[in-house]
Structure 1
Amino acid sequence: MNGRGDIAAAASSVPGIIGHEYVVGETDPGTVYPRLDRIEYPNAFGGVAHWNVVLVLPQDLAEAERYAEDTLPVLKAALDPHLVITAVLLQRLQLDGVGTLPVAFINGHREADLS
């Protein structure tokens, strides 16, 4: 499986989370998809892929924070074998045709494997 597939499958193993390999227009809380941020090639042996894993949160901001506090520890534990997580950022994401969504960006990296 590739990095994107590993991340989506690991996210889907968490109850209430539906992982996708690519960006989707779903607005339901618990929708997760990885976005490839960049690949760094530090040496001749390969690269390091940096990912932003998007977790869609509830529309109500207070509920979004409660959901994030409950969900992120379990989701992080599921992603840990597949991604070195460096930060989680609570943001609002503008999606064409969908609108603005409260999301959590789970930032991390792993060896580049885009096969």
Structure 2
Amino acid sequence: MPCHRCGARQTDPVRGASPWRRGVRAGEQVLICPDCQHDRDWTADLAHCAACGSARLARALGNTQCKDCGAQDRVTPETVPDPATGTASRSGLTTLSEDVHAALERHFGQRTD
């Protein structure tokens, strides 16, 4: 999985803790490379734990867990700009059918019967 900010790919891991960080964005786990972590606000577009405010979240089997406090599924949805409309929306708050419907309307346009 590449860095979600710059697209850099991980190389074979060395022994010890990985310098790459995990986060959750738009309901999906993402990785952040060590170079992008030097940016002051590298956590700005990630979801944060509602209990402690940490952005160190991991997703596994549909569950989100905070790596700092251990809280599960208590995250605050981040605001993600929708490239199709240019407006901000809170991620994870739409259903799959709503996403499909919106994609079909964008692709085919509204039909008037």
TM-score of the pair, normalised by structure 1:
0.24
TM-score of the pair, normalised by structure 2:
0.24
Structure number, greater radius of gyration: 2
More strand as a share of residues: 1
